[in-house]
Amino acid sequence: MKNKKINEMSSPELEKELSELKSELFKLRFSLATNGLDNPMRIREVRRQIARVKTILRKRKLEENK
């Protein structure tokens, strides 16, 4: 998911996306520990997507407080 798409989403949609990404990350880590992954770089991608979403949410929160 690109930054442009993330910026177009509303805050509730971003919260939902964040929870989905966190659950996906948990599943990826679990499968890595148990039987290995086909694409271990997917963990890195998901972590970065989580960081992007959190950054946008924090930015919006700070703008609201001003």
- Domains, the chain: 3-65 (1.10.287.310)
CA atoms within 13 A on the CB side of 10: 2
Report the C-alpha gap between 31 and 62 in whole angstroms.
37
The pLDDT mean for the chain works out to: 93
Q: Which residues contact 1 (CB under 8 A, 6 or more apart)?
A: 17, 49, 52
Q: Inform me whether the pLDDT recorded for 59 exceeds 90.
A: yes
What are the b/e assignments for 56-65, b being 16+ CB within 10 Å? bbeeeeeeee
**pTM of the predicted structure, to 2 decimals:** 0.90
**Tens digits of per-residue pLDDT, 7-29?**
899 999 999 999 999 999 999 99
> 58 falls in which pLDDT band (50, 70, 90)?
very high
pLDDT score recorded for residue 2: 79
